Structures are given as structure tokens and as C-alpha cells.
Chain A
Amino acid sequence: KNQVEQSPQSLIILEGKNCTLQCNYTVSPFSNLRWYKQDTGRGPVSLTIMTFSENTKSNGRYTATLDADTKQSSLHITASQLSDSASYICVVSASNYQLIWGAGTKLIIKP
């Protein structure tokens, strides 16, 4: 069964610190993996997308990695800011266009 699991479920860190969010998937055949940021009360917004051949992709202070062999991805946030408080969702696209959504990691940045 195609699944996407994210960890941790929630995370609290101090402003200025770094953090890493994890995404494990069992989706086949794999097409691409995307990370979304969802602010409270808003719709998700795409941060990065990675295809099978890409290992790393950055978007400002966000860096996503993909290990297609172990079917794992991570999202690293550098020098966190209060505005980074949000849910981060991992989404894997199968080759048949089906999207499998993770439940998300809720990140809280404290001053």
C-alpha cells in the first residue's frame, strides 16, 4: 500500500536554531516528492519538488534531501524564524499521477 509517514508529529524549537523533519515513503512507482508549508488557517504552499535523480534542493533557508534507495526525504530548516511556525507536509507523486500525502509535522518556533 502506498504510504507516506512523517516524523516527528510535532516539534518545538527556539528561534535561530536549526531543525530537520523526516519523511519516509513506500510509493511505487515513484515520480517525485514535494514539501509543502501550511500556515494555520491557510492552504498548503509548495516549497520544493524533487525527482528521482535529485539528491538535494534548496529554497532559501529550506533544504530538502532525497534518498531514493532508502525511500527517505528530509527537510532541513536553517536559522529558524518565528514565521517558520507551520505544518510541513511531504507529498509523494506516483507515476500514475496519484498523490500520497503525509499527515505533516507541526513546527512551533519559540522566541
Chain B
Amino acid sequence: NAGVTQTPKFQVLKTGQSMTLQCAQDMNHNSMYWYRQDPGMGLRLIYYSASEGTTDKGEVPNGYNVSRLNKREFSLRLESAAPSQTSVYFCATKRTGSTDTQYFGPGTRLTVL
């Protein structure tokens, strides 16, 4: 079992370029999440999907869009990248309960020049 996988691992973009970060899980979890992690700050939730077919905004959704393609896959799209979006992006999954553990992917390190 791969758990939670993310592609790519690293990416450099120029301001204004677009890209999609991919996340896939084989844990049969209902909920999936996208976070960004910046130095000196806690993880911040961008978007989440409580179940297949639903998505909701998190704390910092501006500049991002998401697609819950099916139960396994949850993608994050940057339509017009900005330097402020330079960050490490993590995808996470969870069954559904409030005490269930979130399982994280290895992250995507994105630099926007």
C-alpha cells in the first residue's frame, strides 16, 4: 500500500503560470485535504473534501481551485501562480470521525519566481 502519494515532489514556476498538484490515496478514506506549510507558521488548510463529490474552502482558498475526481484523487490547481504561493503543499486523508487520524503525503515543494 502506497498510502498517500503526491506529484510532483518539486516544482518551479514563473509568476502567472498555472499548474496542478496531484494527490492520490489507497486507504479508502472519505475525507481529503490540501494544506500549505510556510516557515514559522502552522499548517493552513486551503480546501478540503469531506466525501466524493463535495469540496469546501478552508482558511486560505484564494488563488486555488480543487477537484475531487473520485474517492481516491484530489487535485489542487493554481491558475495564475504568484510568489506568495511559494510554499510546501501537503495532501492529507482521513476516514471521517473527529478523532480519526489524518495521514499525510510527502509534500510538494513549490517555488514561484
Nearest-neighbour CB distance to chain B for A103, whole angstroms, equals 5
Could you tell me the distance between the alpha carbons of A49 and B94 in the complex, rounded to whole angstroms?
Answer: 14
**CB-CB < 8 A to A45: which residues of B?**
104
Q: Is the CB of A31 within 8 A of B42?
A: no
Could you tell me the distance between the alpha carbons of A41 and B105 in the complex, rounded to whole angstroms?
Answer: 11
List A71-111 residues whose CB lies under 8 Å from chain B. Answer: 89, 91, 93, 95, 97, 99-104
A51 within 8 A of B: yes
Q: Is the CB of B107 within 8 A of A103?
A: no
Nearest-neighbour CB distance to chain A for B43, whole angstroms, equals 4
Q: Is the CB of B42 within 8 A of A104?
A: yes
Nearest-neighbour CB distance to chain A for B91, whole angstroms, equals 8
**Chain B interface (Cβ < 8 Å from any Cβ of A):** 4, 40-45, 90, 92, 98-99, 101-102, 104-107
**CB-CB < 8 A to B106: which residues of A?**
41-43
**CB-CB < 8 A to B102: which residues of A?**
44, 46
Closest chain B residue, CB of each to CB of A94: B98
**Chain A interface (Cβ < 8 Å from any Cβ of B):** 4, 31-32, 34, 41-46, 49, 51, 89, 91, 93, 95, 97, 99-104
Nearest-neighbour CB distance to chain A for B84, whole angstroms, equals 18
A31-B92 contact given A44-B104, A100-B42, CB 8 Å threshold: no
Q: Is the CB of A4 within 8 A of B92?
A: no
Partner of A46, one of B40, B90, B101, B105: B101
Question: What 14 new A-B contacts, CB under 8 Å, besides A42-B107, A46-B101, A103-B42?
Answer: A32-B98, A32-B99, A41-B107, A43-B106, A43-B107, A44-B43, A44-B104, A49-B101, A89-B43, A91-B42, A101-B42, A101-B44, A103-B41, A104-B42
**CB-CB < 8 A to A100: which residues of B?**
42
Task: Pick the most buried of B44, B90, B102: most chain A CB atoms within 10 A of its CB.
Answer: B102
Closest chain B residue, CB of each to CB of A42: B106
Nearest-neighbour CB distance to chain A for B40, whole angstroms, equals 6
